[in-house]
A and B are shown apart, each in its own frame.
Chain A
Amino acid sequence: MTRTPSVSAGSLQKAFGLIGVLVLGLGCFALFEIDALGDGVDQTIDQAFPEVVSALRIVENSAQVAASIPAVSLYEDPEQVTAAVSDITWRLTTMREALTKLSDESSALTAQQPQSLFADEQVQLQSRLENLEQATLVRIGAAERVENLAAQVDALAGLVADTGEALSFGTASLARLRLQRIAREVDLDRARLSETLTAAIESTEAAQTLKSEGHVMVGQLFAVLQTRDLQSLPPLENGFQRAQSAFERALPVFFAGDLAIRNPILSQNVHDIARDWAVLGDPETGLFAARAAELRAINRLETLVQENQAAAEAIATKADAIVNELDVAVVALGEKLKQDRRTAFIIIVLLSTGVLVIGFFIAWKSIALLKNREIALAEAATDASAANQAKSLFLASVSHELRTPLNAIIGFSEVMKHETFGPLGNKTYSEYSDDIYRSGHHLLSLINDILDISRIEAGKMELQNALCHPGELVHSVIRFVNERAQDDGITIEIALQSPAAQLYVDERRVKQILVNFLSNAVKFTERGGSITIAAKQEPDGRFCFSVKDTGIGMSKAEIAKALEMFGQADSRLERKFEGIGLGLPLTKRLIEQHGGDFVLRSEPGKGTVAKALFPADRVRPPGKTDQGVQSISAKSEQPTGRPKHTVHDAARRLA
């Protein structure tokens, strides 16, 4: 009738486990791929970048060196030269370090060995640089000497100009004076005239020579300062020496003449001029030698600068080549990285798609299986319910059919018991007929219970609600157990609320509930025990009937058992006390049929409390009529007059 669900919890776990494993696997693979990419990037950073940086450093430094070299030769201050050279040397060192680094990397990026590539140029450049520094310092020294001598030439030129004029004027003046004196001599001596005139002419000539050769020498010296051509120096020096010897030849004549005696300043000037000529014309320390040294230094520097620059440019070119090579290698590396990244991306996407598809498939399969299981469960439930209904229907009809013969049994056994038609004779018959009667009754009540339960389960139980007084109910049900209690020596106490509220319930069913409570209480209470039945409204508005005994009590398991249908059947209670256990389940159902709650509290050896709690909307204030019955289920009415005290009825001792 019911299908066994084909999907177990285990297979679901397996499905989800599989999805998990797939996702985990995918994650691991993605991590692996990303790690591999990271390795590629690491490789690029660790290997390519330092190499590129080194190469760039080489290029930068070689360019700087090439640019700095001509500047070195132009400095005027030896300190600047030294600083510039040490800067270039530092750059060369940096470059060498970069080259060493580049060579040590032994990377796949550069096929060549850059260090060996540059070794020759480096050494050459270094030694050339030293030459350059030396030559520059030589040039600066020579230039300083030339500059000092140039200042002397300048001063001398001024002196020559002053003196030349004074020489002309002085000789002319003296000649005129001599002529004046001769002209006024009374007896003219021809010899003396000749001597005077000769002397005048000689000193004029000497002065003229001093003046003109002085100007010539100044001109030669300025030409020396102006020229940049080493070849032009010897002719200039020759001219200077020629003028100087002419000047020197004229000097004794001048110093012996009257003018030198008459004009000491002029004489001093001529003397100074002669001295300066000697200084400036000195073959070792004079202007010609100094200027020649300077020009030679300049020429040498020009050559050195060209050589150095060529060497530096050669290095720069090679460095450029290395950078280009590195550039290509790095671009290739980048391309490879890009390719790797693309591949990894595609693999991850494909794998993800695969895992998604598999996951969806598993999930779809699982959902389908779960759906089947749900349907199967629903079908099983429906089947069970139908079976139950069938059972109830069966029981109801069977019970009804049973009751008819049972009435006959009970009726006839009662007739026999009372010996209505004459004595039974043997006493044993009388006892048998009594047993038949009691058994029939018991069977009847059992069948009634079964019928009631069947009715409830079949949904055919209808409550005959009406207003009733709880007190009256209590009193009426006590009669059912009174006799038995008295027989067993059990005291029954009644506790009622006053004024008691009214209840809107099915009175017969409530009585049935209370009889059941009391029957059980009496049944499970030992001799000398007591039973208390109470009826009162709870503080929450509900109405409570409770039956408390001092009986044997029940464990929690026993309570659960007692609430099952036929639960008493295999318990110790059944063995000890009569009954088939339909009482409590039926009672529970009847209370629930009223919308109430059944509470059973018990502990072994400490007695039992059974409570039937009716909802507040079934409670009516005392004396209230049957009005408002219709609204009973529509709204929950709170009792308007709640009792301030709970007054116990005068305990009626029934035993």
Chain B
Amino acid sequence: MGKFVIAAALACLAAVQLFAVGPVMAQDKVVIGFSQATTTEPWRLLFNAELRAEAAKHDNVTLVVRNAQDSVDKQIADVEELLARDVDAILISPKVAGPLTPIVNKVHDSGVPIFVLDRDVANDRYTQFIGGDNRLIGEAAGRYVLDLLGGPGKAKGSIVEIWGGMGSTPAQDRHRGFASVLESEPGIQFIIEPTDGDWKQDQGYKIMADALALGQPIDVVYAHNDPMAFGAYLAASDVGKADGIKFIGIDGIPGEGVRWVHEGVLEATFLYATPGAEAIRQTLQLLRGESIEKRVTLPTQAITRENAASILERYGIEP
């Protein structure tokens, strides 16, 4: 009897404490500022959409989104404005590393939590970095291609690699990860010099068309993003050579790459998840007073014909 009473009392106490912490947070108004570098690419639109969707789950969260429209100066100004608005936390997806590092550091020094998303800055004077690991994604793509061409040691085939921006770290990492798996394979050969596709599908089309013009057989096209892979597919398709070639992309946007995989245009794509939803979750966790990691690496996922349909279904996109 006595033990039961004590247990009940403890349970009540625990319940009270639980509710004491939860609602306080739920009632406090939270303003989160977000500086997006650009929304030109579909991935950026998805990024914004996922970030907004996650924020919309919390009634007490107000989101202030600023679009730098591909301008470093505007992005610096946007962050300054968010800082002046006395928001509770600032999220930034920087257009480039160097020029935006000082403003990120400035926010961090002022005591406002700042989360760096997708692209890192030059130092780690920020609250948290959230992003995918492009090298790992490149490695995953490399292993997939290795298996596709016969497996380690036995693999045999020619590959066209279409680079994103050659000066950008994601493109370099996607290349390094991919190459680290395949360059030691004697049966594998890259048939063109590294060529900058600038992430654009028409460039992907052009590079692929040029590669086809060489007249060599091509087994695999590895593009640093899905639109370039799709451009390459169109180039091959336009000359009637698409059927024998496996097109591999990166990003895995549902309405884009996933659908292309599902339609059989692409062999596979590797998820480069947007940090939008995770950034909101991490920010709220910090504002609740809980501790968070310095770096959060978003996992990748191979999207093939096996799982593409279910992903599209999950996102409510008609196949």
Contact = CB atoms under 8 A, between A and B. Distances in A.
Contacts of A264: 254-256, 259, 317
Is chain A's binding surface mostly helix, strand, loop or mixed?
A: helix
Given A173-B202, A177-B234, A181-B234, A162 B255 contact: no
A176 B201 CA distance: 9
Contacts of B48: 162
B201 A184 contact: no
Contacts of A163: 39, 45
Contact of A173 (B200, B235, B255): B200
| Central interface residue in B67, B205, B253, B254, by most chain A CB within 10 Å | B205
Is chain B's binding surface mostly helix, strand, loop or mixed?
A: helix
A576 B119 CA distance: 167
Interface residues of B, number: 33
Given A162-B67, A269-B45, A169 B40 contact: yes
Contacts of B254: 264
Contacts, number: 77
B42 interface: yes
A263 B38 contact: no
Interface in A243-264: 262-264
A165 interface: yes
A477 to B, nearest CB: 124
Given A173-B201, A185-B238, A165 B39 contact: yes
A12 interface: no
A161 B40 contact: no
B38 A165 contact: yes
Contact of B49 (A165, A173, A176, A265): A265
A185 B234 CA distance: 12
B45 A176 contact: no
B235 A165 contact: no
A185 B70 CA distance: 33
B202 A169 contact: no
B69 A263 contact: no
B106 interface: no
A99 interface: no
B205 A263 contact: no
Nearest to B38: A165
A169 B70 CA distance: 11
A158 B65 contact: yes
A163 B209 CA distance: 31
A184 B238 contact: yes
Nearest to A184: B209
Contact of B39 (A166, A184, A185): A166
A173 B228 CA distance: 11
A13 interface: no
A166 B67 contact: no
Interface in A134-176: 158, 161-163, 165-166, 168-170, 173, 176
B249 interface: no
A490 interface: no
Contacts of B256: 262-264
Interface in B222-279: 227, 231, 234-235, 238-239, 253-256, 259
Interface in A546-593: none
Contacts of B188: none
Interface of B: 36, 38-42, 44-46, 48-49, 65, 67, 69-70, 200-202, 205-206, 209, 227, 231, 234-235, 238-239, 253-256, 259, 317
Interface of A: 158, 161-163, 165-166, 168-170, 173, 176-177, 179-181, 184-185, 262-266, 269
12 contacts: A163-B45, A166-B41, A166-B44, A166-B45, A168-B40, A170-B40, A173-B202, A176-B200, A179-B202, A181-B205, A184-B238, A269-B45
Given A173-B201, A179-B202, A265-B42, 13 more contacts: A161-B39, A161-B67, A166-B40, A166-B41, A169-B40, A170-B40, A170-B42, A173-B227, A184-B209, A184-B239, A185-B238, A264-B317, A265-B46
